Amino acid sequence: MKGDEFIRVELVDWAHAEPLIRPIRETVFIREQAVPEELEWDGLDRQCAHVLAWNEQGDAVGTARMQANGTIGRMAVLKAWRGRGAGRALLEALLDLAVRQGLKRITLSAQAHAIGFYERLGFHITGEPFMDAGIPHRKMVKALTPETDFPRPDK
């Protein structure tokens, strides 16, 4: 695995960052994974917290969002930047935000190929496999406070 080569991750406002976020998600979800546009653009972006990962040249290379209820989604990193720490930094930025907001847990729907990535960051599978946009997923959860305990069914 290559080292962390991007320069920063920052919380951004959808209204100002949409022109940077939209091409990343279109590339990853719509073009690479064939997610229908109407599923990708679900109308929730204005109400979500968004983060962007930037490389040394100042190009946006990854993005993710979190709903007010602590659901993380739309995590996308451009192919050339995968495995270089951007995804982890995006997720850690949203986890930090969730802690600052006093949330007790974070949930997400992980694509099956990414389950190991999320498990390494403390997430646990909580549901049965399901399909979303033709892609296998699993619901996952991470407790943000020590006293929060969630059942962990067998994988």
* b/e per residue 102-118 (b: at least 16 CB within 10 A): ebeebbbebbeeebebb
Q: Note the pLDDT tens digit of each residue in 36-64.
A: 999 999 999 999 999 999 998 899 999 99
Q: How much is the pTM?
A: 0.87
Report yes or no: 25 and 48 within 8 Å, Cβ to Cβ. no
Under the banding of pLDDT at 50, 70 and 90, the label for residue 155 is: very low
Domains of the chain, CATH where assigned: 8-143 (3.40.630.30)
Under the banding of pLDDT at 50, 70 and 90, the label for residue 4 is: low
